[in-house]
Amino acid sequence: MDEQVFIFDTTLRDGEQVPGCKLNTKEKVELALKLEALGVDIIEAGFPISSPGDFDSVTQISKIIKNASVCGLSRAVQKDIEVAGESLKYAKRPRIHTGIGTSDFHIKAKFNATQDEILQRAIQAVKWAKNFVDDVEFYAEDAGRTDNEYLARVVEAVIKAGATVVNIPDTTGYCLPYQYGEKIAYLRNHVSNIDKAVISCHCHNDLGLATANSIAGVVAGARQIECTINGLGERAGNTSLEEVVMVLKQHKHLGLYTNIQTRMLNPISREVSETMRVPVQVNKAIVGANAFSHSSGIHQDGFLKDSLTYEIINPEEVGADGSKIVLTARSGRSALAHRFHKLGYEFNRNDIDILYNSFLRVADGKKEVEEDDLHQLAKAYKPELAII
Ligand code: KIV
Ligand code: ZN
């Protein structure tokens, strides 16, 4: 039986931490509704104590969201947790996400504390949160650089205190996929009550490994991935939702699935990009403008014979506009013939051979050969064929 991986979307919290991406309540509510329609299981709506605006956003999202859990972030601080609890009081499925740094970097530099003191603060935070909600997620910040033996002690203690989800963030994006996978496996093998909680992956992309690490985590037994649309998030960003969802969909042998409506991935990516004013890089997997564009002659020829030669995903499946054959100086004759055909010209092989030489002269002077250029080439070759 395939198992579900829960998708915890943090576009409205970690994603919104990107400088210049701040959202107002109306924008957050609109995006939350879209995320719910997309099929995410948990929406991290904000960090309620951080500002009155964010408190209001979490409250309004709690009122309107029906199916997904709504989550509010807090530190392991009583007042944070009370405010998070208050902001979530209208939610159908409220979750408080509380936690504390567990690596030596955090324990010494940030808290000037000892491992035992941090352990007690972690337990206390979960107990406070339990006064407000049943569903409490605990994060061990910088778990990626936390010693596994200590991390296992913390995880066991917070589950005993009532945590339903244990989040193992690679906060600094430091881990290699095999190390992150081994960390999750270690917790599964060394935490006696681990079956009472869901293990969550929260990976950052400082080394470009966030998606790979999250997948390594679920392969090792985690069942929740924390991610954002377009991979937005602190510094180099978080795991991108569209990537992990499509990895699991493509690799069915993993026996894992999500509830995401993949046809909505491109529309929601555009919506988030516009609302947060962050363009999507053109070569971004799944949602970049070039994700389904073919420009080199070898690829174009294969693609035109059978799209499966160079595309592993059908663009429709992820709501993209469709595959594109882009004409550049690296393109070949089949692509040129294909584009002429799409414009209504029927040239034979000999015509294309002749036209190809003129095409290359134009292509060498431009980044991309456009429709207008093709009409000009056709007109120059056979004026009687001119369509425009
Ligand atoms: O990256 C991180 O560790 C976080 C936590 C607050 C979950 O965002
Ligand atoms: Zn984070």
| Domain ranges for the chain | 3-276, 293-385
73, 98, 138, 213: which to mutate for ligand 1, most atoms within 8 A of CB? Answer: 73
**Cα gap 8→322, rounded to integer Å:** 28
- Answer whether 139 contacts ligand 1 (Cβ < 6 A): yes
CA of 169 to the centre of ligand 2 (A): 7
CA 82 to centroid of chain Cα atoms: 30
CA 231 to centroid of chain Cα atoms: 4
- Answer whether 93 contacts ligand 1 (Cβ < 6 A): no
| Contact between 358 and 380 (Cβ < 8 Å) | yes
| Contact between 276 and 232 (Cβ < 8 Å) | yes
DSSP reduced 3-state for 260: coil
- Answer whether 9 contacts ligand 1 (Cβ < 6 A): no
Residue 169 CA: which ligand 1 atom is closest?
A: 3
CA of 356 to the centre of ligand 1 (A): 54
**Cα gap 136→94, rounded to integer Å:** 9
CA of 383 to the centre of ligand 2 (A): 61
Nearest residue (by CA) to ligand 1, atom 2, is: 171
CA of 33 to the centre of ligand 1 (A): 23
Angle between helices 78-87 and 52-64 (to 10 degrees): 40
- Answer whether 202 contacts ligand 1 (Cβ < 6 A): yes
CA of 228 to the centre of ligand 2 (A): 10
Residue 13 CA: which ligand 1 atom is closest?
A: 8
Question: Whose atoms come closest to the Cα of 200: which ligand?
Answer: 1
The position carrying tokens 């998070």 is: 84
Q: What is the pLDDT along the chain (388 residues), one digit of tens a residue?
A: 999 999 999 999 999 999 989 999 999 999 999 999 999 999 999 999 999 999 999 999 999 999 999 999 999 999 999 999 999 999 999 999 999 999 999 999 999 999 999 999 999 999 999 999 999 999 999 999 999 999 999 999 999 999 999 999 999 999 999 999 999 999 999 999 999 999 999 999 999 999 999 999 999 999 999 999 999 999 999 999 999 999 999 999 999 999 999 999 999 999 999 999 999 999 999 999 999 999 999 999 999 999 999 999 999 999 999 999 999 999 999 999 999 999 999 999 999 999 999 999 999 999 999 999 999 999 999 887 666 5
| Contact between 49 and 84 (Cβ < 8 Å) | yes
Residue 388: Cβ within 10 Å count: 10
- Answer whether 169 contacts ligand 1 (Cβ < 6 A): yes
The residues that bridge with 240 in the sheet, in sequence order, are: 228
Q: Report the top-level CATH class of 3-276.
A: alpha beta
Residue 142 CA: which ligand 1 atom is closest?
A: 3
| Contact between 5 and 225 (Cβ < 8 Å) | yes
Nearest residue (by CA) to ligand 1, atom 1, is: 171
44, 136, 139, 224: which to mutate for ligand 1, most atoms within 8 A of CB? Answer: 139
The position carrying tokens 């969201």 is: 65
Distances (CA, A) of 59 to 52, 85, 203, 282, 314: 10, 10, 27, 36, 39
What pLDDT, on a 0 to 100 scale, did the predictor assign at position 384? 79
- Answer whether 173 contacts ligand 1 (Cβ < 6 A): no
Question: Whose atoms come closest to the Cα of 99: which ligand?
Answer: 1
CA of 34 to the centre of ligand 1 (A): 23
- Answer whether 174 contacts ligand 1 (Cβ < 6 A): no
Residue 139 CA: which ligand 1 atom is closest?
A: 7
What pLDDT, on a 0 to 100 scale, did the predictor assign at position 340? 97
DSSP reduced 3-state for 290: coil
Nearest residue (by CA) to ligand 1, atom 8, is: 14
Residue 167 CA: which ligand 1 atom is closest?
A: 7
